[in-house]
Amino acid sequence: MLAILEKLIKQRKDSISQFEKAGRQDLVDAESAEVVVLSAYLPAQLSEAEITAAIDAAIASTGAAGPKDMGKLMGVLKPQLAGKADMGKVSALIKSKLG
């Protein structure tokens, strides 16, 4: 269920960026309203500090040392953070820590 909601929200956000580029504020507003409704069904989102703590714990448990270990970390973190954090943001934080 969470994966479906995340996919729907991601689709809406992608549409919003395209509509903004095209100057279609009416469609941006409609898609934004749908994101709000869909987001209400997701668990509360974690703060950046909580995400960073989870990443640090995963790095410690897996022994990840560089960018080549990114897949290993995402494999550990995705089940933990699914629905609770934007995985794009998680990925960016992992890259900054391992880079």
Q: List % helix, strand, coil for the chain (3-state, nearest 5).
A: 80, 0, 20
- List, for residues 23-32, the tens digit of each pLDDT value: 999 999 999 9
| Averaged pLDDT for residues 86-95 | 88
Whole-number Å distance between alpha carbons of 35 and 2 = 14
- List, for residues 18-65, the tens digit of each pLDDT value: 999 999 999 999 999 999 999 899 888 888 999 999 999 999 988 888
Name which CATH class applies to 48-98: mainly alpha
Q: Could you report how far apart the first and last alpha carbons of the chain are, in Å?
A: 33
| Amino acid residing at 26 | D
Write down the pLDDT at residue 36.
Answer: 94
Write down the pLDDT at residue 8.
Answer: 94
